[in-house]
Amino acid sequence: MLSNLKGYHRPKSIAEALALLEKNSGTILVIAGGSNLVRSHNETVQELVDISSLRLNYIKEDVGLIRVGATTPIQELIENPKISNLSDGILTAAAFQSYYSRMIRNVATIGGELVQSNPLSVLYCALLVLQAQVRIAGGEEFALAMNIFLNKKGLNGGLLVEVLIPKMADRTYAALSTIQPDPKSPPIIAACSRLTLHKGLCRNVKIGVTATAKIPQRMQEAEIQLEEQRLSNANIESAAETVYDTYQPISDHLAGEEYRKEVVRLVVKKALNTCLELAEEDL
């Protein structure tokens, strides 16, 4: 409950929304789908800026990338063929596995999901390895790499307006692997991988894992280890071992850190093996 709520604004333009956010910073918040805000207890919030009339609900194809507006609902990511045809379908799968309830998927937005910084967000993890960028409006507009954004140089009172997802180059493969004992809860752990094969060697390797502190993280030591190496079973095994050594999981009501640490090798191996299978099918 936002028990001190006194005002509700529905601006028609980004400039109008930003002016409201700037004027009342500290006591005003953006509301997108509202699915998280309605259950929050934030007594400092006195006003809300509803961004549903800013025409930010879209999925558009552009040169080399897909643009997703911040208020696009999660369900739309699942149903839209531009998203399912992108990046070996990992965004569709990630969106589906992140949310059990279709009712919530119909209202929760991609912008709300990213601003939450939820450590279990499979969607966030997938966008991280796909090197998506977010566009923030706030005075100037600029693009930030997802990992910078998520490590919270932050929104600074600005508005997330768009997510830019690059299309994958030829011979690039992406995969998602999860452990989800209860389909009504998010996966307790997920790994996403993405890599390009050039003359049989891995390039631009990205490996992301959920259930790390605050937000999903890239496993950079394992990524570096696989660069310019063959995607062989032995190298996959060894990269998964490096992830095991560096992974620092959280404990929560879904699973303990010891369990997550134990199973991280499995999900990373599965994701990388799926990339290998996709590469073999592509020959």
Ligand X SMILES: Cc1cc2nc3c(=O)[nH]c(=O)nc-3n(C[C@H](O)[C@H](O)[C@H](O)COP(=O)(O)OP(=O)(O)OC[C@H]3O[C@@H](n4cnc5c(N)ncnc54)[C@H](O)[C@@H]3O)c2cc1C
- Cα 135 vs. chain centroid, distance in angstroms? 14
Query: Can you tell me the distance from the alpha carbon of 156 to that of 165, in angstroms, rounded to the nearest whole number?
Result: 23
115 binds ligand X (CB under 6 A): yes
155 binds ligand X (CB under 6 A): yes
| CA–CA distances in Å: residue 179 to residues 185, 191, 211, 271, 278 | 11, 9, 12, 12, 21
Instruction: With CB under 6 A as the rule, give the number of residues binding ligand X.
Output: 30
Q: Check if the beta carbon of residue 27 is closer than 8 Å to that of residue 44.
A: yes
CB nearer to ligand X: give 95 or 276. Answer: 95
Min dist CB 251 to ligand X, Å, is 18
| CA–CA distances in Å: residue 24 to residues 14, 28, 33, 180 | 16, 6, 21, 42
Min dist CB 45 to ligand X, Å, is 9
Within positions 162 to 191, which residues make up the interface with ligand X, using CB under 6 A?
A: 186
For ligand X, the binding residue among 18, 20, 28, 33 (CB under 6 A) is 33
| CA–CA distances in Å: residue 41 to residues 46, 70, 202 | 12, 24, 47
Min dist CB 117 to ligand X, Å, is 9
CB atoms within 10 A of CB 97: 18
Angle of helix 233-246 relative to helix 257-281, nearest 10 degrees?
150
Write the DSSP symbol of residue 109. B
For ligand X, the binding residue among 4, 101, 246, 248 (CB under 6 A) is 101
69 binds ligand X (CB under 6 A): no
CB nearer to ligand X: give 107 or 278. Answer: 107
275 binds ligand X (CB under 6 A): no
Min dist CB 128 to ligand X, Å, is 15
156 binds ligand X (CB under 6 A): no
Query: Can you tell me the distance from the alpha carbon of 231 to that of 96, in angstroms, rounded to the nearest whole number?
Result: 28
Min dist CB 206 to ligand X, Å, is 22
Min dist CB 6 to ligand X, Å, is 17
Backbone angles phi, psi at 219, to 5 degrees: -100, 85
Number of residue whose CB is nearest ligand X: 112
Q: Which residues in this chain contact ligand X in the complex, by CB under 6 A?
A: 29-37, 39, 51, 70, 98-101, 104, 107-109, 111-113, 115-116, 118, 155, 159-160, 186
